[in-house]
Structure 1
Amino acid sequence: MSSIDRTAYPRFKRNFSKNELDKVYTPTLEELKWIRSIARGSSSTLNLMVLLKCFQNLGYFPKWNGIPSTIITHIRNCLHLDDQVKIGYQNNRTLYRHYQFIREYINVRSYGKQAQSVAIHAIQQSAETMDHPADLVSVAVAELVNQSYELPAFSTLDRLARRIRRLINEQYFHNVMEQLPQEERQHINQLLHKDGNHFYSPYNRLKQLPKKPNLSQIKVQIDLYHWLLSFGDANKYLAEIPPVKIKHFAGQAKVLDVQEIKDFSDAKRYTLVLSLINNVQMKTRDNLAMMLMKRMGNLHNAGKKELERIRNQQREKTEHLVSTFTEVLYALEEDSRVEDAGQKIKDVLKARGDVRMLLDDCEAVASYHGNNYLPLILKFFRSYRSTLFRLVETLTLTSTSQDTSVLQALDFIMENHHRKTNWLPDHVDLSFATGQWKRTVRVKQRGEWKIHRRHLEVCVFSYIAQELKTGDICVHGSETYADYRDQLLSWDECQPMLEDYCHEMGFPMDGKGFVNQLKAWMIQKLKEVDYSYPQKENVVTINDDGRPILKKPPRKKPGTSFKRLETSIEKNMPEHHVIDMLGNVDYWVNWSRHFGPLSGSEPKLERPKERYILNTFTHGCNLGPSQAARHMRENITPKTLSFVHQRHVTVQKLDKANQDIINAYATLDLPKRWGTGQTAAADGTQRDTYENNLLAENHIRYGGYGGIAYHHISDNYIALFSHFIPCGVWEAVYIIEGLLKNESDVQPDTLFADTQGQSTPVFALSYLLGIQLMPRIRNIKALKFYRPTKDIAYRHIDALFSDAIDWPLIETHWQDLMRVVLSIQAGKMSSPLLLQKLSNYSRKNRLYQAFRELGRVVRTIFLLFYISDMDVRKQITAETNKVEAFHGFSDWLSFGGQGIIATNDPEQQEKIIKYNELVSNALIFHNVIDLTNVLSSLSKEGYEVYAEDISHLSPYLMSHIKRFGEYTINLELAPHPIDGRLVLD
């Protein structure tokens, strides 16, 4: 049976605040009038009113013994009845008659065959893409409520959901089994068979993680991919199964061991294994593409370092070459006979060193004089050459534009890569290459242009890597590097959605209208800034070079009354252990309800809630199962914690648990003193990881080796969403995604960001999505300001502008822009995937150019208000500082394992960040409850608490929190119910 806690099936809360009782369970005048027209006597009145209010809240009639006494007491008091009046019916006929009266009053139909048909239809439709019974039950509940039907017992809906899900899944399994040839079945069976000479079965190879992209690991990934291809195209057999289902089946197969897989029926076993193979095939293509990009990036870095080293050694190398050349000339002068000259030169060179070494030195000197590091890459490229050729032969690369010159050049070097000569005829289109590359690759010999084959290979591989980044080249069968255009809705699919979206955003319905609106907005805003400039000279001045010089805002420090309040709070805050705080918040919010087996069934663990809280503490504080279990009771073992972590918790479940805390937090009074929830700020902090994995990098800005924990923090201090991203990724691509994936009740429409948010494509996408982007600007002198048209001039701010907007480009690609934003809204495409393609300049990608041009409009307007409004700059700084404070708080809670994320699996790394976010949010919530109680108590004692001082407080309090000691939990001891109201005298 599914856990009712993980569904949307209505049920009574564990505890009620007075506000909730007043709001939900207080009878209205109309209801009182209706009750009195039906009920006779105090007992009947109380019974009918309790049933009515419970039915209004739940959608079904609860059992009498399941109704909380607080609700009964509240309603009894509202009716001014004596405590002696009890609830309950002696006659069932009266009870059923009251049921019918209530249904008619609320206009709800009882659950019967027609309602069952509605529930079945809703579950059948959803089971095509959903797999968890709890989710299917939630869909049925929503549809029954929407069509005004009474809800049946939870067990009824759970049985329906499980039966329909089983039938649909069995049909999928049967279809796969029918298509799968006998030899493929045998191949899969062999995959699950452990050879006597090996400790693991080949099935374990599907779970191996990619490591650092060095030469040996690239070879390992290529060999893995060819082995995976021996199973054929797994996607061919799974074509009828929705991608969401395939992903779920693959997730199940990944966490199960061989014996558990063998226990399934043949059809289910083959489907799950094929789903995992299909998933690993896609990810391996992604890994190979990423390895190619990282390796070429490393080779370019090596070339740059080599150039720097050569500059330091240039004098010595030049003297050596000149000396060698001098000896050659002396040898020729002594004996000018042609037949002896070659041998003399060879003798001189042999004494001076290897010819290849001297050639490398000559190229190094030439590159120094031309300030060109490109020829230097070749000596580092040689050891990777054959492996990189194998890699590109393994992948199927296609161009996403009409320009296929890079792939044609790739075909050329593939045809010639076994040749011995270094020189090839000049038959290659190098239009894709820069002038510096062309000068490196093409050389004139005896009046004829030749191509240096080795340098051409380095050039082509460099551009393959670059165009994979920009999306100009895609990898067939990949996920991250697939053709992003395939993920866009067609224009026919967009048109039914277009009118509603444009109406919601206030956009015109065509390209011409869109551009006219945008141009008018830009002209008007720039005119306002120009007009107000004389009054803003104490905020910004523009020098003769057109560079804005910003005045620093005055710092406003809290007064002495705040310091006194802070001291009083620190003195009165009750001490808690992290585990106790997690347990209390779970009692109030029930966030652990989302955890459970992947099947969606009730957990079979002993005391599951306790296990979930301890597991969250273990991984959220980065202790690891072994370290944490040493400080817990004897029956809590590392294996228990690992089992819960692997089998009962996913990234999606952690997000849902966080949403429960965020939603409860939004109902409290104190956070409303800090912010409205309409704004949020995004920024990242570096987290150390093991080095031997594909994502870890040494980050220049953060100065560590690992990845980035990227957080979106609401203006009231709670974390809304978190990612774990590689250091090498431009953080700006994740700025918008956090808001789009945040499904909590707190929905900001303004986003503050660090300087990573300066990117024009990010400005463009945020504008199209209705998000006001406000990044902190660094090095504003390097950013361009664009005027609306070339013929518009301004009296005060004209010196700022360097170019004009290309409006026809935006109008021409308006349809493409709308396709992108509607695809993102429909969930068919992720914003990071798009922005990764738009984060690098591409001369081929016209979509990039359209986004960049639209972003120039939006960013120019923002920059003008940024420089001319000191309050805007102060607000951006204040909000981004909240993210920095959250980083400090979450890092303090990640006190185990020396702060290193001890896994190489990207999915597990993401889970660790989500655990840490969950623990941080739970403690923030608990701190707010304690702060509220302390402030209310201080006020009652006569302490004058000022509203301005409260606004300076933060829930990131740590001095009263205990992190160490024996890790025990007692869920029997319930905390006081929360009210959340801040009561000040």
Structure 2
Amino acid sequence: MPVDFLTTEQELNYGRYVAEPNDVQLARYFHLDERDLAFINQRRGRHNRLGIALQLTTARFLGTFLTDLTRVLPGVQQFVAVQLNIRRPEVLTRYAERVTTLREHTALIKEYYGYHEFGDFPWSFRLKRLLYTRAWLSNERPGLMFDFATAWLLQNKVLLPGATTLVRLVSEIRERANQRLWKKLAALPDSWQTARVTELLDIPEGQRTSPLEQLKKGPVTVSGPAFTEALERYIRLRNLEFSRLNFTGLPAIQLRNLARYAGMASVKYIARMPQQRKLAVLTAFVKAQETAALDEAVDVLDMLILDITRAAKKTGQKKRLRTLKDLDRAALILARACSLLLDEQADDAELRETIFNSIPKSRLAESVSKVNELARPQNNNFHDEMVEQYGRVKRFLPAVLRDLHFQAAPAGEHTLSAIHYLTELNGSKKRILDNAPEHIITGPWKRLVYDAEGRIQRAGYSLCLLERLQDALRRRDIWLENSDRWGNPREKLLQGEEWQAQRVPVCRALGHPTDGHKGVQQLAVQLDETWKTVASRFEGNAEVHICHDGKHPSLTISSLEKLEEPPSLHRLNSRVRLLLPPVDLTELLLEIDARTGFTREFTHVSESGARAQDLHISLCAVLMAEACNIGLEPLIKHNIPALTRHRLSWVKQNYLRAETLVSANARLVDFQSTLELAGRWGGGEVASADGMRFVTPVKTVNSGPNRKYFGSGRGITWYNFVSDQYSGFHGIVVPGTLRDSIFVLEGLLEQQTGLNPVEIMTDTAGTSDIIFGLFWLLGYQFSPRLADAGEAVFWRVDKSANYGALDELARGCADLSKAEDQWDEMMRTAGSLKLGTIHASELIRSLLKSSRPSGLAQAIMEVGRVNKTLYLLNYIDDEDYRRRILTQLNRGKAAMLWRGRSATGSAVRSESAIVKVRKISWGHWAWSLTQWYCGTHFICRKP
């Protein structure tokens, strides 16, 4: 366990005056009330009264006494001296003339004000217990635990011990918590499981890798064989029977970290561990990897079904093109026959003869047959071509039915019964099915499932079930028991007594009343008042007009005019450029590290205490290589120990991870927020989100197709968040180009910096009523720049209300009674998201995927419609609001442009897979943020 985790800032601030306290701090810690003055005035001599007053106020502010009061800042001395009617604080120099004075005064203060020494019982015991609880339940960085301990000591009037004493205490407690975790985990497996899991480290004869290394590797392609391999990997882990072990009472976050550590550490290193720790690491790995393997197998299944659907569509389109001439020829013949049929002058008695004289009967019959053969129904989904791929499907479908144990909600019971029916037929070669559940057979599938005699054909039924299974899995009407991503999201919400205990605090924290009727009434009143306010000002709004060209009235919103840059801005730009010194990128990175200490956040993957001389130089080199995408080669210097090939490779493998990059990024963001210029830009309450696209040249199941961005290949989107201080506080890797709005909320909830953004600006990003509703429930303001804001539906609650010129726009009526009925469920959902029991993207997907929204989804939609209307009304009413959204979006795009310029290497190297892209993205962002911070720092620096 490292004992040098304190940052330079923490070392300088601990028990010392660093900067003059602000007005709030002076009033809180240095104001002397009547009780204080009575105590102080008992001392003789002005120097003694000022000295004991400064010792008292310093103990309140710093948590310790000073042996040399000349270290107290002049502003503090003056503030305290004025309250004691002492004109010249210089008398303080006489305070140290008598050696015993300090000891006597500190003893008097401790007795009179109730201060305690750190070693006094029970104070150190209480602190150890609190720290141990935090170390056991969370994965807090030691620096945060140190800050918590310092704050707790100050709050409880316990004098601060030496910094090294507190550092050692934090390190020892973290080590003790780890030892306890290893002991409990090692005691869970029985002797058979212990033997099996230990064998994972042994390399079988004739093979080059151990079973553990094989189990670490997930699927990389989407195909039937890839799914079979992924499923076999899951079965190998499931057969170890670790899912039946009782992990109750063990902190989930610690188990995840231990499993992640096992996934990154070498097999040789794990094999050399003490038996207890080795077994604990392997136990955590198997438990987590079993769930991950199941998730990945179902991911491949989902994408495989998509691939089959896509292939069927492609085949169907090709067939359509090939047969189009035949269809046109037949249609023209039938059109001629119909024109003769519609001729009013034709004799009805001779009509057939007239038609057959013009078009031979055989040719007409042939045309009818051809149209029936080639024409497709309006709702055609290329099901015919899907059935043609049954030969491909039957290679993996038996494994799906046999090895995946599905569960169902009431809406998925029919699909589950069909799964059970086909499972019983596994191994049978029957082509015609008897007594098969028919509820899953929808209209478009009937002609492909039933033959001419009305019997159910196995090929069509299997493909129909596969389509229904995918739909039910996505809506979570069907789920898997031991899955994380494909499990039952309802079980992850706060339940029973836990929710009742959290109900009032959650509602209070989110700013909503516990009473549903009161909550919807407040929302209805807010909407009504906003409608009336905007309507009253609409006549004077020259930028927005009502248009009646379409079926419904809509709004025309004028584009924002460009703001001309005044000459003073150009002069300022020139002066700012002079403040930015020419500096090599490597020097810049090292300087920012010296100022912020962000490299201290990078810890060894397995040996938490492992450090090396000049490690920060190696880390900066690796970070630059990854962020600029140039590789390690240009940075290798054989004559510098910190830059040798071996050192840089070791650092890259053991220190550069997603969680360490997140921590380093958080420190940079927090430093940026303390700079004066950043504070002038904004307070960190506003942010924007946008995505960058990366093509993935290698195959990976985490990428997705999109011809607009990736051509014929596949890729990912790195969705990143930028605050109004130009700092990037979070980033999410998204497969392909999934709906951006799914991940916006997740970014706000899961970001780990000190910023607290409450309003998010995005592009249209696939917004929906549910997204607006969830943002409102969680107390955030969603402000997308809608491409069709004027065409959007505006909603009202009161049907009888008259909103003047805007009344015709309010053509939708929100039914808030649904929200009132589901109020407690909505609060429970919002509380679960806020407390992190469920991921926002997982919940949103289950709500958005449903074609039959649940009562909860409908309630969230209704409040979302109201919230969206509130946003739209403010958007059309306030040009400054529209400009503020555009300004923040431009900040995010400027940051993306900056990062694009700093990436001097190729877009993504051929060796990259999804993990590699994630590292480049995070490293790239942290790297560009250091450049932003550097610019901000030098601009703020006094000449």
- Normalised TM-score (structure 2): 0.84
Q: In the alignment, which residue of structure 1 is the partner of 2:127?
A: 119
Choose 215-224 or 610-619, whichever is displaced more. Answer: 610-619
Q: In the alignment, which residue of structure 1 is the partner of 2:705?
A: 698
Mapped partners of 2:822, 2:26: distance in 1: 55
Letter in 2 for 1:59: G
The counterpart of 2:294, out of the listed 271, 285, 288, is: 285
1:559 to 2:563 alignment: no
CA contact (8 A) 1:541 1:549 kept: yes
CA contact (8 A) 1:739 1:748 kept: yes
1:528 to 2:533 alignment: yes
1:461 to 2:469 alignment: no
Mapped partners of 1:765, 1:738: distance in 2: 14
After TM superposition, the structure 1 = structure 2 runs for residues 736-885 of structure 1, keeping only pairs within 5 Å, are 736-756=745-765, 758-780=767-789, 783-788=792-797, 794-843=803-852, 845-885=854-894
Shift in Å, 1:734: 1.5
Q: In the alignment, which residue of structure 2 is the partner of 1:389?
A: 398
CA deviations on 1:808-858 (whole Å, 9 max, x unpaired) are 322222111111111122222222221122232341633323222221221
Q: SS state of the match for residue 604, structure 1?
A: coil
Which consecutive unaligned segments of at least 5 residues does structure 1 have?
A: 323-360, 938-985
1:202 to 2:211 alignment: yes
CA deviations on 1:886-917 (whole Å, 9 max, x unpaired) are 111122223334344854354x5434322222
CA contact (8 A) 1:2 1:601 kept: yes
After TM superposition, the structure 1 = structure 2 runs for residues 560-575 of structure 1, keeping only pairs within 5 Å, are 560-571=567-578, 573-575=580-582
Choose 125-134 or 256-265, whichever is displaced more. Answer: 125-134
Mapped partners of 1:695, 1:278: distance in 2: 22
The counterpart of 2:595, out of the listed 585, 588, 600, is: 588
Choose 160-169 or 149-158, whichever is displaced more. Answer: 160-169
1:273 to 2:278 alignment: no
Q: In the alignment, which residue of structure 2 is the partner of 1:662?
A: 669
Shift in Å, 1:575: 0.9
Shift in Å, 1:28: 5.2
Q: In the alignment, which residue of structure 1 is the partner of 2:482?
A: 477
Shift in Å, 1:183: 2.2
Q: In the alignment, which residue of structure 1 is the partner of 2:364?
A: none
CA contact (8 A) 1:180 1:237 kept: no
Letter in 1 for 2:415: V
Q: In the alignment, which residue of structure 1 is the partner of 2:137?
A: 129
The counterpart of 2:523, out of the listed 507, 518, 524, is: 518
* C-alpha spacing 1:737/1:363, structure 2 compared with 1 (3 Å): farther
Q: In the alignment, which residue of structure 2 is the partner of 1:109?
A: 116
Letter in 2 for 1:529: V
Mapped partners of 1:873, 1:12: distance in 2: 44
Q: SS state of the match for residue 439, structure 2?
A: coil
1:400 to 2:409 alignment: yes
Percent of residue pairs identical: 21
Q: In the alignment, which residue of structure 1 is the partner of 2:938?
A: 930
* C-alpha spacing 1:793/1:594, structure 2 compared with 1 (3 Å): same
* C-alpha spacing 1:189/1:426, structure 2 compared with 1 (3 Å): closer
Count of aligned residue pairs for this structure pair: 887
Q: SS state of the match for residue 675, structure 2?
A: coil
Q: In the alignment, which residue of structure 1 is the partner of 2:2?
A: 2
1:100 to 2:107 alignment: yes
Shift in Å, 1:228: 1.5
Choose 737-746 or 706-715, whichever is displaced more. Answer: 737-746
* C-alpha spacing 1:856/1:120, structure 2 compared with 1 (3 Å): same
CA contact (8 A) 1:3 1:601 kept: no
1:12 to 2:12 alignment: yes
* C-alpha spacing 1:45/1:643, structure 2 compared with 1 (3 Å): farther
Q: In the alignment, which residue of structure 2 is the partner of 1:256?
A: 265
Mapped partners of 2:71, 2:646: distance in 1: 42
Mapped partners of 1:632, 1:365: distance in 2: 75
* C-alpha spacing 1:389/1:623, structure 2 compared with 1 (3 Å): farther
Q: SS state of the match for residue 617, structure 1?
A: helix
Mapped partners of 2:405, 2:908: distance in 1: 40
Choose 821-830 or 372-381, whichever is displaced more. Answer: 372-381
Shift in Å, 1:391: 3.2
Letter in 2 for 1:563: H
Q: SS state of the match for residue 536, structure 1?
A: coil
Q: In the alignment, which residue of structure 2 is the partner of 1:242?
A: 251
Q: SS state of the match for residue 404, structure 1?
A: helix
Choose 73-82 or 702-711, whichever is displaced more. Answer: 73-82
Q: SS state of the match for residue 137, structure 2?
A: coil
CA contact (8 A) 2:730 2:751 kept: yes
Q: SS state of the match for residue 705, structure 2?
A: strand
Shift in Å, 1:751: 1.4
Q: In the alignment, which residue of structure 2 is the partner of 1:59?
A: 63
1:724 to 2:729 alignment: no
1:540 to 2:549 alignment: no
The counterpart of 1:914, out of the listed 911, 922, 931, is: 922
Letter in 2 for 1:557: E
CA contact (8 A) 2:617 2:643 kept: no
The counterpart of 1:689, out of the listed 680, 684, 696, is: 696
Choose 27-36 or 461-470, whichever is displaced more. Answer: 27-36
Mapped partners of 2:545, 2:149: distance in 1: 59
Mapped partners of 1:102, 1:423: distance in 2: 93
Mapped partners of 1:145, 1:62: distance in 2: 15
Q: Which has the higher contact order (CA 8 A, sep 6+)?
A: 1
CA contact (8 A) 2:698 2:910 kept: no
CA contact (8 A) 1:680 1:751 kept: yes
Mapped partners of 2:176, 2:755: distance in 1: 38
Q: SS state of the match for residue 765, structure 2?
A: helix
Q: In the alignment, which residue of structure 2 is the partner of 1:982?
A: none
CA contact (8 A) 2:20 2:73 kept: no
* C-alpha spacing 1:869/1:307, structure 2 compared with 1 (3 Å): farther
Q: SS state of the match for residue 5, structure 2?
A: helix
Which consecutive unaligned segments of at least 5 residues does structure 2 have?
A: 82-87, 332-369
CA deviations on 1:501-528 (whole Å, 9 max, x unpaired) are 4345443322222222222323333333
* C-alpha spacing 1:214/1:50, structure 2 compared with 1 (3 Å): farther
Shift in Å, 1:718: 1.7
* C-alpha spacing 1:687/1:279, structure 2 compared with 1 (3 Å): same
CA contact (8 A) 2:432 2:455 kept: yes
After TM superposition, the structure 1 = structure 2 runs for residues 328-343 of structure 1, keeping only pairs within 5 Å, are none
Choose 76-85 or 506-515, whichever is displaced more. Answer: 76-85
CA contact (8 A) 1:755 1:777 kept: yes
Q: SS state of the match for residue 715, structure 2?
A: strand
* C-alpha spacing 1:273/1:516, structure 2 compared with 1 (3 Å): same
- Normalised TM-score (structure 1): 0.81
Shift in Å, 1:771: 0.7
* C-alpha spacing 1:868/1:424, structure 2 compared with 1 (3 Å): farther
Q: SS state of the match for residue 113, structure 1?
A: coil
Letter in 2 for 1:149: V
CA contact (8 A) 1:194 1:201 kept: yes
Q: In the alignment, which residue of structure 2 is the partner of 1:193?
A: 202
CA contact (8 A) 1:307 1:368 kept: no
The counterpart of 2:627, out of the listed 620, 625, 629, is: 620
Mapped partners of 1:505, 1:178: distance in 2: 42
Q: SS state of the match for residue 640, structure 1?
A: helix
Mapped partners of 2:274, 2:605: distance in 1: 18
Shift in Å, 1:253: 1.7
